[in-house]
Structure 1
C-alpha cells in the first residue's frame, strides 16, 4: 500500500499540501496498488494503474477520472461524486449517492447497467458512449451542456428533458423523442434504427440529422433553423408545412417537386423555451426565478443544478443573475448583471474542467 509520502512522490504534490489539497492529484504506474486512508483531496486522476484493485472507503474526492485501471472494479459505496470520468473501465456500478451534478462521462464501460437515481441535473456535459449494457436513464431534468448517447440499449429519454447544448444520439434503440423535450442547439439521431416518429410541433434551433433512421414521416409543424439531413433514411416525401432555414440533404426523389419554406420565425428560440421555466440567452440556458418589468431574475447552470438538488436557500438567493434584454429586440441579446458572486462554486467547475 502506498504511503502519503509515496503519494507525494508519484503525484509531485508537496506532502504538506495533501491535507486539504484542492487541485487534481494525478497517479499512474504499476506502483499504484492501494491508496492510504485519511486523505483529504478534492480530485483524483488515475491513469494506467494495473495493480490498483480498490479505493479507500473514506476517500473524499468529488472529482474522479479513471483510465487504464483494469483491476479496479468497484467504487466505495459512500463516495459522493460531483464529476466522474470513466474510460474503458471495468467498474460495475456508480455509487448511488453520486449526483454527478457537474459532469458525467462514461466511455467503453461495458459493465455499467444503470445510473444513480439522484443524477437529476448536470451543469456541463452528459456523455455515455459504448456502454452496451446501459438500458435506461435516470429522470434527468436538465443538462446544461451537451447530451451525448452512443451505442447503448436505452430505449427512451426522460419526458421533460431540457438540453442547453446539442442532443447527439447514435446507434441507440430509441423510438421517438419526448413530446416535451427542449434542446438549445442541434439534434442528431443518426443511426437510430428503431426511430419511428418525432413529436408534432418539434422545433430545432440548429441542424436536425435523421440519417440512417427508420422514420418514414416527418412530424406536423416541424421547424428547423439549420439543415435537415435525411440521407439513408426511410423518408420518401416532405410535408407542406415544413420550415427549414438551411438546406435539405436528401435524395432527388425526396426533393423532387418539393417547395421548401425557408422563413424561420424570428422568435424560434423563445418559442422553444416558452413555459419551460427557462430562458435561452447568449447561447446559454438560465432558470427563470422571476420575471420583472424590464429584466429576468435567473440562475446560471451551476446554481440551477444546486437549486434542483437542494432547493432554495441563502446560497441561491445570493447567486441571482439579472438578464436585461437588448434595446433592439431582434438582436436577442441580453446584458447580464449579478447581485452577488457565485465564487463559492467556481472552484468546483474549474476543477472539473481540468480533469
Structure 2
C-alpha cells in the first residue's frame, strides 16, 4: 500500500513573512503592497517553494506589475503552484531560460566549478546568470550533498519537473524534435530510428549495465546542432571494460558544435574523419577502443579537459600545441601508451597531468615547463627511470605521485616543486636515498616512502619540515630515525611497520636535545627516542619492527590515540604508558615474548593481544571503570591462570548487573562475546557462569565453539 501525504502549508503569518523576505528583503510588506501581498500569499496556499519563487519574482517590481502577475495566476486557479513557477520562468531572459533548462535536464547536482567552462561555452555567462536564477529561487547552491563541500547546482523537484515538461512540450509526439533528451526510451528511439533532427542540442543516455545496443553509422547524422553528448551506464563498475553502444559499420558523423563528448566505452579506433572538434571543451572517453585521437595539429582553443582513462588501445597522444588552454590531461591505466608528445611539456595552463598506471611509458618530454601544474601523478609507470629537465619552477604543484616507478633520483623535481603538500614515493625500488631538498618543503604535509626497500636512512634535517602531518616509512630498510624528528610538532600519523632494521641502540646525536638529556639511555633505548617530542602524534604503527624493547619516552606522546606494536619481541611495556591519557586502541597481537602488561590508561577502549602465548598477567581491575574490548585469543598461559578466571567472572557479573534487561537477547549476548572475545578452555569457568544467567552461558558456549554440555 502506498501512502499519500499532503504537504501542509505555512500559516498566514509565517507565509506572509517568508514571502516578504523575498519580495521586500524584510519580514513585512511595504505599506502600499500589504493587500496585494496577502492576496498573493493566499494564492500560494502557504507552500514555501511557491512563496519563495513568487516573492523573488516580484522583488523590485511596480504595483501594476504585481497586479498583472496576480491576474495571470488567477486565470487557471487549479494550477496554482505550476502557474507560479511558469510565470517566474517566463520572466527570464533567453540565456537564463536556456541555462535553467540545461540544469533541469543535465546538470542538477553537478559541481558548479566543474561545469563552469561548459556553461560558458554555451554562451550562458554562468558567473552572472547562475546568481540570477538563485535570486529568483529557481535554483540553489547545495553544499550538504557533497562530501567535499563542493558547490552543487540544485533545484526543487517541482522546478525540475517543470523544466523537463517545458522541453517535452516542444514536441509531445516525436522526441527527435526536442532540444534536450535524457530519458532512456526517448534517446534509444531517435538513435534506432534515425529520427534526430537539427533541433536536438543535448543527449544523455544512461543504460543498464547489461544492455548493449548496435547502432547505424548514421545515428547522429541529422543532429547538426548537437552540443552535449553523454553516453554511459547508470552505475558503471570501476573495472568495467567496454561500453553500451556498438557501431559495427563505424560512425559517419558527429556534430562540429559539440562542446562535450562523454562517451564510456567509445567502440572505434578513431574519431570520424570529418569531425572538427574546434569547439570542444571536454572530451571524456573512459574504457574506449580509441587508438589515436587525431593526426597533426588541430586548433582547440576551447579544450579544457581530456580524459581517456582505461583506454587500453591508446598508443600515443597527438600534438597538443593547438590546445593552449588545456587544464586537465587524464590518461590513467592506458596500458599500451608508450609515447607522450613533446608539446605536453609546454602547456602553460595545465593543472592536472595524470598518467597513473601507464605501464609501458618509458619517458616524458625532454623538457617540462608546466608552471600552473598542481597535480602530477606518475604512479605505476614502472618503466619510467628518469625525469626530464625542469625549465620553470613548478611552485603551484601540490600533489606529486611517483609510486612504483623506476626513478632513482627525483632531486631536481623536488627542488623545483617548492609548494608540495603531498609527496608519494611508495614502492620506488631503485630509490636508495631521499633528496636533501625534501627538508626545504615547508608546505609538505604527507610523505609516503613505504616499500622503498633500498632506502636505509632519512635526511638528518627531516625535522625542518615543520608542517609534516603524515609519514609512512613502512617496510623500508631504515636503521635509525634522525634526531631532528623531535621537531615535527605537527606530525599526527607515523607508520614504520615492518622496519625490522631499526637500531636497538640510541644515536649519540639524540643527546643534543634537552628533553632526552633528562632520560636514561639504558639497554631498552633505541632510535625511537627521536619520537619523544611529537606532541601531536595520534596514530603510531611500529608493528613487526623486531623491537626488543620499548623505551620509557613513549609516555611523552600525549596526543596518542592508537598504538600498534604487533609482532615485536619485547617482554614488557614501560610503566610510562599509563600517562597516555588519550590512548584508545592498543594492538599487541603476535608479541610472543610479552609476559605482562603494566597499568593501562582508563581511556583504552580496545586491547588486542591475540597470540601473545607468553602473556601471564594483565593490569585489569574490575572494580574500576575500565572495561575495554578485549581480544585475548590463544593467550594460553593467561588461560591457565585461575586468578584471571575469577577476575573475568567478576567483570561479567558487573556488566550483567548493570544491564539485566539486555542479557536475554541473542544480539546483546553476541555483543558481549565480541566485547570480551575470550576463549577459556576450562569447564569450571563455564559452570561458574551458569550462576549468572543460563541463557547467556549457552550463547557464550556457542560463540566460543565450545563442546561443553
Do the two structures share a fold, i.e. TM-score over 0.5?
Answer: yes
Q: Distance in 2 between matches of 1:22 and 1:33?
A: 16
**Which residue number corresponds to residue 122 of structure 1?**
420
Task: Note the 1:227-242 alignment, pairs <5 A.
Answer: 227-242=562-577
For 1:58, the equivalent position in structure 2 comes to: 346
Q: How high is the TM-score relative to the length of structure 1?
A: 0.60
Counterpart for residue 35 of structure 1: 319
What SS is found at the alignment partner of 2:378? strand
Report which of the two has the higher share of helix: 2
2:528 is aligned with 1:195: no
- CA distance in 1 between counterparts of 2:416 and 2:475 reads 26
Structure with the largest fraction of strand? 1
Residues 112-131 of structure 1 show CA distances to partners (whole Å, capped at 9, x for unaligned) of 422421333434x3322111
Q: Which runs of 5+ in 2 are unaligned?
A: 1-255, 262-269, 282-299, 504-526, 605-709
Q: Once the two structures are superposed, what CA deviation does each residue of 1:316-349 show, in whole Å capped at 9, x if it has no partner?
A: xxxxxxxxxxxxxxxxxxxxxxxxxxxxxxxxxx
**1:133 aligned to which of 418, 430, 442:** 430
Q: Once the two structures are superposed, what CA deviation does each residue of 1:159-180 show, in whole Å capped at 9, x if it has no partner?
A: 2224565332211233215221
- C-alpha contact 1:202 1:219 (8 A) present in aligned 2: no
Maintained 8 Å contact 1:110/1:130: no
Query: Equivalents in 2 of 1:213, 1:44: separation in Å?
Result: 41
Structure 1: runs of 5+ lacking an equivalent:
265-355
Query: Kindly tell me: are residues 208 and 33 of structure 1, through their superposed partners in 2, closer, same or farther at Cα, counting changes over 3 Å?
Result: closer
Question: Is the partner of 2:387 in helix, strand or coil?
Answer: coil
Q: State the alpha-carbon separation in 2 of the partners of residues 82 and 121 from structure 1.
A: 9
Aligned to 2:465: 161
Q: Secondary structure at the match of 1:143?
A: coil
Can you list the C-alpha shifts for 1:26-62, whole angstroms capped at 9, x where unaligned? 4743353542434311221223343525432533333
The counterpart of 2:584, out of the listed 213, 221, 246, is 246
Task: Using the TM superposition, give the Cα deviation of residue 84 of structure 1 relative to its aligned residue in structure 2, in angstroms.
Answer: 0.8
Matched, 1:105 2:394: no
**CA–CA distance in structure 1, aligned partners of residues 447 and 419 of structure 2:** 12
Which has the larger displacement, 77-86 or 49-58?
A: 49-58
Give me the CA root mean square deviation: 3.3
Deviation at 1:222, TM superposition (A): 2.9
Map Cα deviations across residues 168-226 of structure 1 (whole Å, 9 max, x no partner).
22112332152212345332210122333221333354221101114443352432521
Q: How many angstroms apart in 1 are the aligned matches of 2:429 and 2:338?
A: 26
Secondary structure of the equivalent of 1:159?
helix
| In 2, Cα distance between equivalents of 1:208 and 1:68 | 33
For 2:447 and 2:321, how far apart are their aligned partners in 1? 36
**Structure 1 residue 65: Cα displacement:** 1.0
Farther off after superposition, 249-258 or 175-184? 249-258
Deviations 1:80-105 (CA, angstroms, capped at 9, x unpaired) = 33221013213321554444632112
TM-score by length of 2: 0.32
CA distance change for structure 1 residues 246 and 33 in 2, over 3 Å: closer, same or farther? Answer: closer
**Residues 218/212 of structure 1: CA separation in 2 closer, same or farther (3 Å cut):** same
Higher relative contact order (CA 8 A, sep 6+): 1
Q: Distance in 2 between matches of 1:249 and 1:208?
A: 11
Quick check: which has more Rg, 1 or 2? Answer: 2
Distance 1:222 1:194, change over 3 A: farther
